[in-house]
Amino acid sequence: MEGVDQLSAASIVAGIVAGDFSATEVARASLAAIDAREPHVRAFLQVSADLALEAAAATDARRAAGEPLGPLAGVPVAFKDNLHLVGTRTTCASRMLQDYESPYTATCVQRLLDAGATPMGKTNMDEFAFGSSTENSAFCRTRNPWDVSRVPGGSSGGSAAAVAAGEVTLTLGSDTGGSIRQPASFCGVVGMKPTYGAVSRYGVVAFGSSLDQVGPFGRSVADVALAMNALVAPGKDKLDSTSQAVAPGFLDGLDVPLARMRVGVIPALMEHESLSAEVREGLTAASAALEGQGAQLVEVDLPHMAAAIAAYYVIGPCEAFSNLARFDGVRFGYQEPGCATLAEQTSWSRARGFGAEAKRRQLLGAYLLASGVYDAYYYPAQQVRTLIVSDYATAFRRCDALLLPTAPTTAWHLGEVSDPTQMYASDLFTISSNIAGNCGVSVPVGLGADTGMPLSAQLQGPAFDDAKLLRIARALERGVEAAGRYAPGTVARLHGVTKEEVWPA
């Protein structure tokens, strides 16, 4: 079966229901795409061919028996490798967990499987989600399908790249400070960070428990909306105390015009000094596209947004230090052989099990939580968080959503950004919504004139207004397509690699 990478999730489901093709044919086509493109992209850490074919066969059997099929029946899906799935390893791209077999399945993963999705495997990431480029994986560096000399973004870079390359239709990632939206921007796909609590975090290896949120990647807003329906439809997850019941109406009114809808713009951010000329041009086009779809642009302000990175890099490392303390080489994680004492076992296991960025974040968290330091940094960071939440509340009284950059630049080259603080700055426009717990989505708006790389715009909405946010995102997508800038469903064709190499006859 050729051309599966050109089909939307809804088209795959419709084709299987109509008998145009089988779920098994779709799964084998996805496996063929992975096999052909992975040498160039390296999006996957583990391909679960047996699980995929087993799930696809079950879908085909249900159809043959005349049983109803799920809303994601036969759709190829992959999962970031910090999400548990029985039958796979959950390594978090770390040597610390390289042999860890998933003992259970995360709620978010199970809900997609219950909706009929076909599990294709686990995708690469920055180790324990610490990074913005997927260069911090212990096992391999994922490459951007638009230009394999560039990064896909991070930490969910593998998930973004797998969708952009047409290897799978949907993926799940996690977003702690922008780790869905930023790689979605770099790879030219749609990536959504839902409201904190909208999607269960049970079965997700935690980075920052008050910041983490699982969300989908797709090549169109409609595909992301379909995935969101599956993620929330069963209701509140009793296994996650932060889970909230959300109505599964993400496809309802998706194409309704934006009459009288107000979109806020922040002039200081739209002209921020860090923005490249390409990104600024993409934001201008996004503004015009939204106005063309009936939205009214209004100026608002987030006066404390400049403090978001400082607050995040206090709160995040503190929570990471707490969450990763259990990987001590005794109870959990990699065990260094030949150690004489428990103290030596812990010391050497953590030294060799964790990579450089994971150590850096934990050391920072340990320092910030130390006696005499906590009051000077952690408490003020939480005060800044309160101010940021208040700023958003004020802004959303004047508008239905905010239009912002997703990232200040397009994807940089592998190895180009080596200074950690410079890489942290790439999350400037995404971090604040994690601190506040609001929803956000990145939408492609074209290709840069200089780099030829994807450009995007970010939309942020109030907490639990996720469905309205996707409606606005769809309007932006329509406007961008009408202007001939970018078509939903576009698949990257691996710059510098021939079509024959990535899609064999």
Q: Is 30 a catalytic residue?
A: no
What does the alpha-carbon distance between residue 327 and residue 312 come to, in Å, rounded to a whole number? 23
| DSSP structure class, residue 194 | P
Nearest residue to 184 (alpha-carbon basis) of 207, 199, 162, 204: 162
Nearest residue to 440 (alpha-carbon basis) of 449, 429, 451, 450: 429
What does the alpha-carbon distance between residue 156 and residue 179 come to, in Å, rounded to a whole number? 6
Nearest residue to 74 (alpha-carbon basis) of 161, 6, 14: 14
| Catalytic residue, candidates 179, 287, 426, 432 | 179
- Interhelix angle 374-396/356-368, rounded to 10 degrees, is 100
Residue 285 parent element (H or E): helix 277-292
| Catalytic residue, candidates 30, 155, 159, 426 | 155
Distances 190 to 31, 59, 359 between C-alpha atoms, Å: 22, 27, 31
Residue 492 burial (10 A CB sphere; 0-12, 13-18, 19+): buried
Going through 134-229 in order, the beta strands assigned E by DSSP cover: 170-175, 190-193, 213-218
What does the alpha-carbon distance between residue 204 and residue 244 come to, in Å, rounded to a whole number? 16
Cβ-based neighbours of 104, under 8 Å, separated by 6 or more: 84, 86, 203
Q: Is 8 a catalytic residue?
A: no
Which residue is listed with tokens 């959990």?
332
DSSP string, 20-79: SS-HHHHHHHHHHHHHHHHHHH--EEEE-HHHHHHHHHHHHHHHHTTPPPPTTTT-EEEE
3-state SS track over 420-444: HHHHHHHHCCCHHHHHHCCEEEEEE
Nearest residue to 406 (alpha-carbon basis) of 235, 275, 243: 275
User: With contact defined as beta carbons under 8 Å apart, do 388 and 128 qualify?
Assistant: no
Q: Is 179 a catalytic residue?
A: yes
State the distance between the two ends of the chain, measured CA to CA, in whole angstroms: 10
CA–CA–CA angle 457, 476, 212 (5° rounding): 50
Distances 294 to 120, 255, 389, 425 between C-alpha atoms, Å: 40, 12, 28, 33
| Catalytic residue, candidates 22, 80, 159, 174 | 80
What does the alpha-carbon distance between residue 246 and residue 195 come to, in Å, rounded to a whole number? 10
CA–CA–CA angle 52, 55, 60 (5° rounding): 120
Catalytic residue IDs: 80, 155, 179
